[in-house]
A and B are shown apart, each in its own frame.
Chain A
C-alpha cells in the first residue's frame, strides 16, 4: 500500500507520537521523517481514526508520551511502534484525585 496516500503530522522532533490526518487502515507502511533516531518507515499496527495518535517509536511502560514537544501523559504499558496511542495505553497524570490515598 502506498504511504503517500496517508497524511500524518509530527508536531515536534522529540515527540514519540504522530497524529493521523485521515483514517489509516492496519498494516499500512508510513514514512516518518523527523530526526535520525526515528525510523524512516513504520508499519501501522491497527486502524488509526482521523485525529488519533500512533507511536512513532517504541514507548516503555511508565515513559512520558510527548506531543507538541510536551508531556501529554504516560504509558500504562509497553507500546509498540505503529500502535494506536489513546486512553487504553496512555494515562493523564494531572487532576488525579483518584490516586490520593484516603486515610
Chain B
C-alpha cells in the first residue's frame, strides 16, 4: 500500500498503533458511506420493559452493547417524536454495525417502526418482541442467536483509512470549575476549529450553558436566520425556568460548579462557549437530529451531561470530547468519550476516569495550542481503535431529554 500512514513501531518486539499522517484515522466504512470508529452490535430496547432482556443478551454475546432507560411508552406529540428520533439516531450511528431492536409488543414506541427507520441506512437490523416470542427466556435466546450472527459478520469488517472530514465530533463540558473556561474548553475550541478546517463537523450543545454567551455566538452565525434561531433557543430554555418560577441557579450552576469558583450561569456559559472555537456557526439543530451542514453546528440540548451526550451520539457523533473540572465517569455505549481534565489536581485524583490533562495550561507548562494538538492526536488514535477510560470501565450512560409528561 502506498498510503502507509500508520507506523508500526517495533518496541521491544511489541507493535503499537501510531498515527503519523495528520487528519487521518482507521475507521469502518458503512453501507451508506458513513464512517464508524467502533464496530458495535446494538441491542436497542425501544421500551423500558425490554431493557432487562437486552441487558441479558449483552451478557451472553461479546461485542454487543445496550443501555437501560425508562422510556418508550405512554408518550405523545413532540415528546414521542424526540424519543423516537433518539432511538433511530443511536441505531443509525455509524459506530454501530448492526442492530437488534427489542420491543415488548404493546408500547407506543413500536420496535418495528424504529427498525424500519434504522434499516434505511442499509445496515442489518433485526426486530424481536417479547410478547411475540413467548416471554423473557425465549426472547433472550432468540436475541442472543441473532446478535451472535451479527457480531461475527461485524468482526470480518476491516478498518480502512478515513479522513477527519468524515467525523462528527461532539463537544461537552460537565462538572465544570473556574478552570474549564481557561484551560480545557479553549483547547477544545482550538480542536473544534481544526476539525472544521479539515472539513469535519463539530457539535456545540448545552443550550442552558450558553445563556449569557448567546450574543457571542449570534455574531458568528452564518446568516441572519441562524442568528435569530440562537436567540430563540436561548429564550425557550430560559423561559422554562421562568415559567416554573424558579431561579435557574438552584439547578445550574451545580453545587460542585460553585465550589469550583463559578458564581453564576452566565459565568459558566462564557467558559462553556469557548468549546466552540472561532468558527462560523453553520446551523442550529434539534435534539438528536443529524447535522445537515459540515462545520460548527449547535445542537439544542439541556446542560444535563448524559442527556446532551445521548443527543449528540443520536445525531451521529462518532466521538465526543468531554472537559471536566470536578471529574466525571461519563461514557456512552456507542461513542468513545475522551475526557479532559481542566486542572492537574483533579487529573491526578481521577486517573481512572480522565484521559487527558489540560491543567498544564493553568500551571503555565503548556499553551492552549499545545494541549489542543495533544487532543487532536488522541482523537486520531481513539478513532482508530484506542480505548478510552470510559469504554474500558463499561460506562454505558444513557438519558433522553424528555420534553413532555408521561401519560
Q: A68-B181, A71-B266, A72-B212 are in contact. Are A94 and B261 (CB under 8 A)?
A: no
Q: Is A87 close to B, CB under 8 A? A: yes
Report the bound CA distance from A94 to B244 in whole Å.
14
Task: Identify A53's interface contact among B178, B245, B362, B364, CB under 8 A.
Answer: B178
Task: Mark each residue of chain B from 164 to 193: 1 if its CB lies under 8 Å from any CB of chain A, else 0.
Answer: 000000000000011101100000000000
Give residues of chain A (80-95) contacting chain B, Cβ–Cβ below 8 Å.
85-87, 90-95
- Give A53 Cβ to nearest chain B Cβ, in Å: 7
Give residues of chain A (53-77) contacting chain B, Cβ–Cβ below 8 Å.
53, 67-68, 70-73
Count of B interface residues, CB-CB < 8 Å? 35
Q: A19-B182, A73-B263, A86-B261 are in contact. Are A95 and B211 (CB under 8 A)?
A: yes
From B39-47, B113-121, B235-243, B280-288, the one touching the partner chain is: B235-243
**Majority secondary structure, B binding face:** loop
Task: Identify A51's interface contact among B212, B216, B261, B264, CB under 8 A.
Answer: B261
Q: How many A-B residue pairs have CB under 8 A?
A: 100
A53 with B263: CB separation less than 8 A:
yes
Report the bound CA distance from A91 to B249 in whole Å.
9
B246 with A72: CB separation less than 8 A:
no
Q: Is B310 close to A, CB under 8 A? A: no
- Give A27 Cβ to nearest chain B Cβ, in Å: 21
Hey, which chain A residues are within 8 Å of B216, CB to CB? Answer: 70
Task: Mark each residue of chain B from 73 to 114: 1 if its CB lies under 8 Å from any CB of chain A, else 0.
Answer: 000000000000000000000000000000000000000000
Give residues of chain A (1-56) contacting chain B, Cβ–Cβ below 8 Å.
7, 9, 11, 19, 21, 49-53
Hey, which chain A residues are within 8 Å of B241, CB to CB? Answer: 95-97
- Give A83 Cβ to nearest chain B Cβ, in Å: 13
Q: Can you offer 12 A-B residue contacts whose CB atoms are under 8 A? A: A19-B182, A50-B261, A50-B343, A51-B179, A51-B260, A51-B261, A52-B261, A93-B264, A94-B211, A95-B241, A95-B248, A97-B247
B270 with A92: CB separation less than 8 A:
no
B261 with A49: CB separation less than 8 A:
yes
Task: Identify B263's interface contact among A9, A50, A87, A94, CB under 8 A.
Answer: A87
- Give B243 Cβ to nearest chain A Cβ, in Å: 7
Task: Identify B264's interface contact among A9, A92, A98, CB under 8 A.
Answer: A92
Report the bound CA distance from A71 to B264 in whole Å.
10
Task: Identify A100's interface contact among B245, B248, B271, B362, CB under 8 A.
Answer: B245
Q: Is B265 close to A, CB under 8 A? A: yes
Task: Mark each residue of chain B from 330 to 353: 1 if its CB lies under 8 Å from any CB of chain A, else 0.
Answer: 000000000000010000000000
Residue of B nearest to A88 (CB): B263
Hey, which chain A residues are within 8 Å of B382, CB to CB? Answer: none
Task: Identify A97's interface contact among B248, B263, B270, CB under 8 A.
Answer: B248
Hey, which chain B residues are within 8 Å of A99, CB to CB? Answer: 247
Report the bound CA distance from A7 to B363 in whole Å.
9
Q: A68-B270, A97-B241 are in contact. Are A21 and B264 (CB under 8 A)?
A: no
Hey, which chain A residues are within 8 Å of B238, CB to CB? Answer: 94-95
B260 with A94: CB separation less than 8 A:
no
Hey, which chain B residues are within 8 Å of A96, CB to CB? Answer: 241-242, 247-248
Q: Is B258 close to A, CB under 8 A? A: yes
B244 with A97: CB separation less than 8 A:
yes
A71 with B212: CB separation less than 8 A:
yes
Report the bound CA distance from A40 to B76 in whole Å.
62
Task: Identify A70's interface contact among B211, B252, B266, CB under 8 A.
Answer: B266
A92 with B182: CB separation less than 8 A:
no
Report the bound CA distance from A70 to B269 in whole Å.
11
Hey, which chain A residues are within 8 Å of B242, CB to CB? Answer: 95-97, 100
Residue of B nearest to A72 (CB): B267
Give residues of chain B (355-370) contacting chain A, Cβ–Cβ below 8 Å.
362, 364
Report the bound CA distance from A19 to B211 in whole Å.
21
Residue of A nearest to B259 (CB): A49
